[in-house]
Amino acid sequence: QQPVQSPQAVILREGEDAVINCSSSKALYSVHWYRQKHGEAPVFLMILLKGGEQKGHDKISASFNEKKQQSSLYLTASQLSYSGTYFCGTELAGADGLTFGKGTHLIIQP
Amino acid sequence: DTGVSQNPRHKITKRGQNVTFRCDPISEHNRLYWYRQTLGQGPEFLTYFQNEAQLEKSRLLSDRFSAERPKGSFSTLEIQRTEQGDSAMYLCASSPRVSSYNEQFFGPGTRLTVL
């Protein structure tokens, strides 16, 4: 079953923060986050395994709440280059293909 | 550029024709995935290989679709008797599957248009 992402779209000014959420009704093995710009392939951002870990690089981080089967992506001090569509992809135990949400459109304005 | 390459980048065909796409994964990545993406949607999983073995198929993969990965290197995805509903971006991804992690790196995709 497809994970649910929220919000569907966000418009920010450069330097503002954003949070994108991803929730699933199934027990997840891992959550993957990707960013896709128009006409390009999805770009891998990070992967979180069950266990409630939080990961991050630069000003992008994410968390995974195993009890709630929810993951959140945090973008701090957003830059123009952060614009794009963010997808979460969920992985179930024993199944290696990812199931992606419908995406969150992020627009960063100067 | 992730190192995953796909050819052709664009394909226009007439309904009923057969088409074949190729994916070259990052070298030494033992896992290869095929996804389909339509406008405004996230990628949808089709199938995946570990080395040359096809281990999982989505129910989206009708009998008109077939995928191969001979010798565990490049992969091909063939669609027979194409339909207009097959128009989409076909994405390939590869993964090294090291320990518990399954990071998947996507290629640029092949955009199929069925007239």
The pLDDT, as a whole number, for residue A15 is 95
* Residue B106: burial class (beta carbons within 10 Å; 0-12, 13-18, 19+): buried
Q: What is the pLDDT of residues B65-109, one digit of tens each?
A: 999 999 889 999 999 999 999 999 999 999 987 666 778 999 999
Chosen for mutation from A34, A92, A96, A105 (greatest number of chain B CBs closer than 10 Å) is: A96
Average pLDDT over residues A15-36: 94
Q: Report the alpha-carbon distance of residue A4 to residue A24 in Å, rounded.
A: 6
Q: B81 vs A30, which has greater pLDDT?
A: B81
Q: Are B46 and B37 in contact (CB under 8 A)?
A: no
Average pLDDT over residues A45-55: 76
- Cβ within 8 Å of B, A 38-67: 40-44, 47, 49
The pLDDT, as a whole number, for residue A55 is 66
Chosen for mutation from B39, B99, B106, B110 (greatest number of chain A CBs closer than 10 Å) is: B106
Nearest CA in chain A to B48: A97
pLDDT bin (cut points 50, 70, 90) of residue A70 is very high
Q: What is the pLDDT of residues B36-75, one digit of tens each?
A: 999 989 999 999 999 899 888 887 788 999 999 998 899 9
